[in-house]
């Protein structure tokens, strides 16, 4: 039970609170969810946050804004504790897609993946990352990337309307607590600042 409580606290702090405490416009939150989930569901643990940041910078150049802390929160879904499960899921999905198109690749088992993960964790940071990366690229690369994007893109797209619904419901409850409408609550609390890295005024 203590373990479950600890997991619950981590989920609340790392994933739920960024949504609840944000004063960003709702569409920025939704887009942050989509981009974060797409990068999270790739076999690139260790560089996913940099990819999220790079995406934020590139989209800002073309005038598109998303809420970066939400994207980072979504990326944290794939972490040291969850990565063996997700990586094997990506591999399994990719394997079946490659089978469907008769593309050859080398099959591996979940036990092999777990063994490599444990070996990497027993090494120092640089050696472990190198050991893990070589295994991914050499043994699992093609199915992993195919499966990761095949899973992550639909998940990211689905994350947009789900985030919209959940955040709107939360903000409606907050508005009711203050005795005002949702539009009045948004006018009062949602960010309207302008500047180089801010939303443009209407």
The per-residue pLDDT for 139 is 66
Inside any domain, residue 108: yes
Mean pLDDT of 76-93: 82
The per-residue pLDDT for 197 is 45
The per-residue pLDDT for 64 is 92
Q: List the single range of 61-65, 68-72, 82-86, 162-166 with lowest mean pLDDT.
A: 82-86
Inside any domain, residue 127: yes
CB 26 within 8 A of CB 133: no
Write down the number of H helices and E strands in the chain: 10, 0
Q: Tally the domains of the chain.
A: 1
Q: Is pLDDT larger for residue 104 or for residue 71? A: 71
pLDDT tens readout for residues 147-180:
999 999 999 999 999 999 999 999 999 999 999 9
Inside any domain, residue 35: yes
Residue 35 belongs to domain spanning: 21-189
Separation CA 14–CA 151 (nearest Å): 22
Inside any domain, residue 199: no
| Tokens, residue 99 | 């089978």
Inside any domain, residue 148: yes
pLDDT at 59 over 70: yes
Inside any domain, residue 13: no
pLDDT at 85 over 90: no
Residue 195's Cβ-count burial label (10 Å; 0-12, 13-18, 19+) is exposed
The per-residue pLDDT for 10 is 66
* H/E run at residue 178: helix 141-178
Inside any domain, residue 38: yes
Which pLDDT band, with edges at 50, 70 and 90, does 121 fall under?
confident
pLDDT at 189 over 50: yes
Q: How far is CA 7 from CA 10, 15, 37, 47, in A?
A: 5, 11, 20, 24
Closest to 43 in 3D by CA, of 15, 69, 78: 78
Inside any domain, residue 10: no
The per-residue pLDDT for 142 is 80
The per-residue pLDDT for 196 is 37
pLDDT tens readout for residues 5-57:
766 676 667 778 888 888 899 999 999 999 999 999 988 777 888 999 999 99
């Amino acid at each position: 039970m203590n373990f479950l409580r600890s997991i619950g606290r981590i989920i609340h702090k790392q994933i739920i609170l960024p949504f609840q405490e944000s004063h960003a416009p709702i569409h920025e939150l939704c887009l942050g969810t989509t981009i974060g989930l797409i990068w999270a569901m790739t076999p690139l643990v260790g560089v996913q946050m940099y990819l999220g940041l790079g995406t934020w910078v590139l989209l800002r150049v073309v005038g598109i804004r998303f809420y970066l802390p939400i994207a980072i929160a979504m990326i944290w879904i794939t972490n040291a504790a969850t990565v063996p499960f997700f990586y094997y899921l990506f591999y399994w999905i990719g394997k079946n897609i490659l089978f469907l198109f008769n593309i050859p690749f080398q099959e591996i088992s979940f036990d092999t993946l777990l063994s490599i993960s444990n070996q990497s964790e027993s090494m120092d940071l640089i050696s472990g990352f190198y050991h893990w990366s070589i295994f991914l690229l050499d043994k699992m690369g093609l199915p992993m990337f195919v499966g990761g994007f095949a899973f992550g893109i639909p998940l990211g797209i689905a994350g947009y309307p789900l985030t919209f619904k959940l955040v709107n419901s939360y903000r409606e409850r907050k508005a009711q607590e203050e005795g005002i409408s949702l539009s009045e609550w948004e006018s009062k609390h949602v960010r309207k600042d302008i500047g180089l890295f801010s939303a443009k005024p209407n």
